[in-house]
Structure 1
C-alpha cells in the first residue's frame, strides 16, 4: 500500500488532535471569536532571484476561535500581538500543543505556484500549478528575549511544489505594553522536487536555449534572510507594523541560471483593526 504525504499529514492531525493537548481547556478569553481587518503594503522582488521589483497593496484579514485560525500573510501575528509568540503563518491552522515554552501546530494553505510566462526571465519554463500545502510548525522560547521556530511544508496534491523546511531565530530588542521590536535570521531548504520546479531549467525548454544551458538542481539550501519587524498598538483595537529584510539565495538555488540577482531588499507596512 502506498502512503501519500496527504495521508501522513491527516494521520498526524488526527493523532495529535486526539492527544492530551487537544483536550486542554482553553482560557475563557481564548474561546471568544476574534477577527482582524486591514491593509498591507509590500515592496520586493517578483520572485526569488529576480531583478524586477513590484509594489503591492493587499488586504489583511484574520479570524480566530479558540485554537483554530485562518489568516492572510502577516495578519495572524497582528491579531495576537501582545498576547502570544510567533504565529502559525498564513492559511488555516490549529494549535495542537501549548506550554509555557513550546507551541506546536498544523496548518493548511493554498500555494499560488508560478505562472512562468508572467515575467521574461522564466518564460518558456513549465508552470508550477496552484496547490494545497500542509504545514507542521513549532516554536520554542529559549532565554526570555530569544525564540527558535521551525516549520515543514509539503505539497499535498502532487502539483510539483515539493517540500520546504524553514528555521527562524528571533530576538526581541524592545517591548512595552504598546510596542515591540524584533530582529530575526532565518534559513530555508527545499527537496529536489521543489528546487527543480522553481530553479530548474529543463533541457528541452525554450529557456534552456535562451540561457545556453540546462540546469537540474538537487535538494539543498534555498535562501537566508536577515530582518527586523516593529509592531505597535494604537489603543485596544488598532495595530500597525513595519518590517524590512535582506535575503540572499544559497546552495542549488544560487547556482540557477534564472537568478538575475542573488540578494534582494524588501519592506512592508500595514495597519489593521481588531475586535
Structure 2
C-alpha cells in the first residue's frame, strides 16, 4: 500500500484519515489531494504533501486510515454500529534535514506499524479508540481517542466536526520529542538534552467537508488545529504550541 510512504510524522498521517472522514460512510473510493502541514508537531516550518485518499471495504477486509495511519486490516462487528479490528500500516518517520531544529539529530527511520481499534457509530456520532505500535525497536506506541459528529448530511454535502487526542508511551515520546546526549552534541542548533515521560502529547480539532460533484466524483476539504501537550510541549524541539493544517482532494467512488 502506497499511502503511508507519502506522509511524514503523526500529524501528516492524521491528515490522511481526517480528510476522508466526511465521506468514509459513502462506500469505496480512491483519489488524491494535497495537504499543508507543519514539518512535525510543534514545528514553525510547513510543507505541502500529497494526500492519497482511499477507502475500501470488502467483507471483513479493509484499506483505510486507522489511528492516523493508512492501513489495511480485518474487522468484525460485535454489535450494531460497533466494530473492532486489527491493522498494519507504514510510517516514513522524519528526516533530520526536514527542519532547522532537527539538523544533526539523526533520522527517524521508515518503519511499519501494527495495532487494533474499536469504533462505535451511533447515528451521526462516531467514537473510537486505536492503539498503534511501531514495528521498530525503541520507537514506541501511541493511543488515539477520537470523537466526531456529522453536523450536516444532505445529498450533496457532508460536514463532520471532530476532536482527537493522542497518548504516547515513553519510547514514542523520546523518539519524536526527546534529545539524547549524542543528539545534543550533534545538534546544529545547540539543543539541550531532554527526556520526556509518557503522557498525552497532542490534541486536535478538525472539520471535514465532502461535496458530491456528481454520482461518481466528490471533493473533500479538511481544516484543523493541532496543539502539543505535556512533555511534548516542553521539548526543545517545540517551536509552536499550536499549528493549523488543511487539505483538499478529489475522490472517485467505485
Q: Same fold (TM over 0.5)?
A: yes
- Bigger radius of gyration among the two: 1
Identify which of 186, 192, 202 aligns with 2:180: 202
Is residue 2:76 matched to residue 1:96?
A: yes
Higher relative CO (CA 8 A, sep ≥ 6), structure 1 or 2?
2
Residue 111 (structure 2) pairs with residue 118 (structure 1)? no
CA gap 1:273/1:145 in 2 versus in 1, 3 angstroms: closer
1:89 to partner: Cα distance:
5.4
Question: How far did residue 248 of structure 1 move?
Answer: 0.4
Q: Per the alignment, do residues 171 and 58 of structure 1 end up closer, same or farther by CA in structure 2, a change over 3 Å counting?
A: closer
CA displacement 1:29-87 (0-9 Å, x = unmatched): xxxxx86332211111011111011123344345443221224x5xxxxxxxxxxxx99
TM-score by length of 1: 0.75
Equivalent residue for 2:21?
Answer: none
Distance 2:47 2:162 in 1: 24
Structure-2 change in CA distance of 1:89 and 1:192 (3 Å): closer
Distance, in Å, in 1 between the alignment partners of 2:191 and 2:219 is: 47
The answer to whether the Cα contact below 8 Å between 2:227 and 2:241 also exists between their aligned partners in 1 is yes
Structure 2, unaligned runs of 5 or more:
1-26
- Give TM-score, length-normalised by structure 2: 0.81
User: 8 Å contact 1:113–1:161 — kept in the other structure?
Assistant: no
Q: Cα–Cα, structure 1 residues 208 and 254, in superposed 2: closer, same or farther, change >3 Å?
A: same
Deviation at 1:99, TM superposition (A): 3.0
Structure 2 residue 46 is the aligned partner of structure 1 residue 69: no
State yes or no: 1:256 paired with 2:235: yes
Q: 8 Å contact 1:96–1:106 — kept in the other structure?
A: no
The answer on 1:226 being equivalent to 2:232 is: no
Judged with a 3 Å threshold, the aligned counterparts in structure 2 of structure 1 residues 63 and 171 are, in CA distance, closer, same or farther, namely: closer
Aligned partners of 1:207 and 1:88: how far apart in 2?
A: 31
Which residue does 1:161 correspond to in 2? Answer: 139
Unaligned runs of 5+ in 1: 1-33, 74-85
Check the 8 A contact 2:101/2:188 in 1, yes or no. Answer: no
Tell me the distance in 1 between the aligned counterparts of 2:78 and 2:68.
13
User: Closer, same or farther in 2 for the Cα pair 1:267/1:232, shift >3 Å?
Assistant: same
**Structure 1: 4+ residue segments shifted above 6 A:** none
Distance 1:232 1:192 in 2: 41
Contact 1:131 1:157 in 2 (8 A): yes
